[in-house]
Amino acid sequence: MTVTARARRKAERPGEILDAAFEEFVQRGYAATRLEDIAARAGVTKGTIYVYFESKERVFEALVHDLENSLREQVEPFFEDRGPPTAQSIRADLTMLYRVFANDRRGRELLRLLIAEAVRFPDLVDEHYRNLVGPMFEVLGQRLRQGVANGTFRPAPATNFPELLLGPALSLHIWKLLFSDRKPLDAELHFEAALDMILRGLLSPETEANRVSDQQ
């Protein structure tokens, strides 16, 4: 093996360890997972893990950060959208978020891990809120307020709770975590039903009339 190849393998090894850790933590939970299990799955020695991570706790923290960064990259178009809120843009934003939450297994399992280990790792939960969840709700809240100001949305109570817009995505998220393929749910139909409910509740009468007219 050349020096360049060895260097590349060394650079790739932390990611391989985290991939193995992901599967072990998901299957066994934090408490039951041993570094030996992670090492065996990654095809390295336990000592190799210590080269990159000083403890199982550090492996778990690094994994959560890695999963969070991956999820943030997928939803980045949502944060980059600077256009005025319209019925169409809100539908597009929510559809994109719903699909990420429904289809990304690693993102779903991140939620499971954070819920399961919230008492053990409260700082990780708080970081996840600061880095992803909070900013997402902040942007949704801004768009709702802008939509009320430009007449797209009516000043409904729901505009004060942007969390409600992601409620259907969270319910689908949890459904998939609990039932996986045992009780399949048609995600696309779920999206459409949720968006119909949300938009009918938010849109001003004029905007709703124009939306219906455009669909005819």
Report the alpha-carbon angle 207-166-182, nearest 5.
125
Closest CA to 89 of 131, 146, 157: 146
Closest CA to 163 of 134, 126, 188, 189: 134
Segment 124-175, tens digit of pLDDT: 999 999 999 999 999 999 999 999 999 989 998 888 999 999 999 888 888 8
Q: Alpha-carbon distance 196 to 178, whole Å?
A: 25
Do the domain assignments include residue 203?
yes
Same domain (yes/no): 75, 42: no
- Bridge partners of 153, per DSSP, are 203
Q: Alpha-carbon distance 11 to 128, whole Å?
A: 26
Same domain (yes/no): 75, 21: no
Tens of pLDDT along the chain (216 residues)? Answer: 554 545 445 667 899 999 999 999 999 999 999 999 999 999 999 999 999 999 999 999 999 999 999 999 999 999 988 888 888 899 999 999 998 888 888 998 999 999 999 999 999 999 999 999 999 999 999 999 999 999 989 998 888 999 999 999 888 888 888 887 788 888 889 989 999 999 888 988 876 666 555 655
Do the domain assignments include residue 105?
yes
Helix axes 105-116, 3-28, angle to 10 degrees: 60
Same domain (yes/no): 129, 69: yes
- Does residue 131 sit in helix, strand or coil? helix
pTM of the shown model: 0.84
Instruction: Show the domain range for 33.
Output: 1-54
Do the domain assignments include residue 144?
yes
Do the domain assignments include residue 134?
yes
pLDDT for 176: 86
Cα maximum dimension of the chain: 69
Do the domain assignments include residue 205?
yes
pLDDT for 34: 96
Same domain (yes/no): 151, 207: yes
Q: Alpha-carbon distance 70 to 72, whole Å?
A: 5
Domain boundary among 18, 36, 54: 54
Same domain (yes/no): 81, 13: no
